[in-house]
Amino acid sequence: MLNVKLSYIVLACAFLLGCDPNDVPRLSPDGKYIVLLDDLGKGGEKNLIQVAILDMKSNRWTRHSLPEGWSANGVSWVDSKLLINALRPKKDEVPKGEPTHDMSCWLLNLDSGKFSETTLTPHIVLTPFVGKHKGSACLYFPDMKSKGTKILSLQDLSEVEALPLELQGAGDGWFVHSLSKEGHKGVTKESVGIDVFNQDGERVCQISAEEIAKACSRGVRFPQCVRISDDHKKLVLGFETSTTFRKYPAEYTFGVFDLSIGKLLWRGDSNGLHGLPVMIGDAVFALEAKSRNRPAVEGMLRPTDESRSQPTSEVVLARHTREGRSVVLGLPLQKGDLAARYSTSPDRGTFVLLVEGENPRILLVPAHDRLEAKDVHDLPLK
């Protein structure tokens, strides 16, 4: 039985800023494998997180431990390759305020089960994404040191070019870049807005700070979610609602923007789990908690008071449109089940939800507005 009671050796800020989560279960682009992080359960700082992979054809799970005391912290599919973010405690005493862990990226060979270390250092916040550069497929890899983005070959991850911009993937090779007035960073009250680029790296439009503010609960906020629609005509931007003194009824607001004019079409509210929604046609689908109020569960959470990090036993598939929100299906969770994190298949057709508890498993949930409990597939973590 795989132990999926996860321990997290990450900085809290990595959870507070927008990115495509890589600590969630992920279906490979070819649909042959599901990968997730698996805790060996040794307790405390000595926890070593393995990589667990399900072969969908044989229905067999395998576990892979990184060498030399490294612990897996995130997983990303790079075409058919599996890129692992890894952490390891520093051997020497660290001055106060300095990072306590080294960071590195590793590749896992699925055929041999062997790891090979790369020269890449993972970004704390941003996640690499596959796109195109000058007509060729490539990996856009965020670089913390230069505060830019490396463009890497998919064949051997060698550097092709470097851009002096921090880019955030939006799916299907699309991406955005936050624009700010001189001396300021991110989408803030000093923001100019964001530029949106298509899968060929061409700038499509700019969404102004004034338009972004219309989708936020208060002022202008940094997008926690950036997702392109299936027709590539609309962009979904999601935002946190937390403030020091005010409580918004939902954990997130989001806006759907028309990329032909850079304007807000409509907005909505969501209690989304830790994962990304999809936009199919004119509807946004997401896995959400039935209620914002979720009790803390020891050993299964990150060090943050945000309720979106809390597992819940009541998960729904929600559908949002201009007319409002509707619940497509309450997921068939059992007594003792808890769920907090999910991902979406590359083709937008399926949500991959990790269920923790006494009966850990993966649920495959079709992203569809006509769904019944029998349509949800159950994959035990054995």
d(CA 51, CA 23): 11
The reported pLDDT for the residue numbered 125 is 85
Dihedral of CA atoms 304, 305, 307, 309 in degrees, nearest 10, equals 10
The reported pLDDT for the residue numbered 249 is 85
Entry pTM: 0.88
Which parts of the chain register pLDDT below 70?
A: 1-19, 40-47, 181-191, 244-246, 292-310
The reported pLDDT for the residue numbered 191 is 66
The reported pLDDT for the residue numbered 378 is 93
Distances (CA, A) of 381 to 34, 82, 355, 360, 362: 11, 20, 9, 6, 7
> How many residues comprise the chain?
382
Tens-digit pLDDT profile for residues 271-280: 999 999 999 9
The reported pLDDT for the residue numbered 39 is 73
Question: Other C-beta atoms within 10 Å of 50: how many?
Answer: 19
Domain ranges for the chain = 1-90+100-122
Tens-digit pLDDT profile for residues 276-328: 999 999 999 999 998 766 554 444 433 333 444 567 888 999 999 999 999 99
Tokens of 30: 């070819």
* DSSP-assigned beta bridge partners for residue 343: 352
What is the spatial order of strands in the sheet that 225-228 belongs to? 225-228, 234-240, 252-258, 263-270
The reported pLDDT for the residue numbered 13 is 30
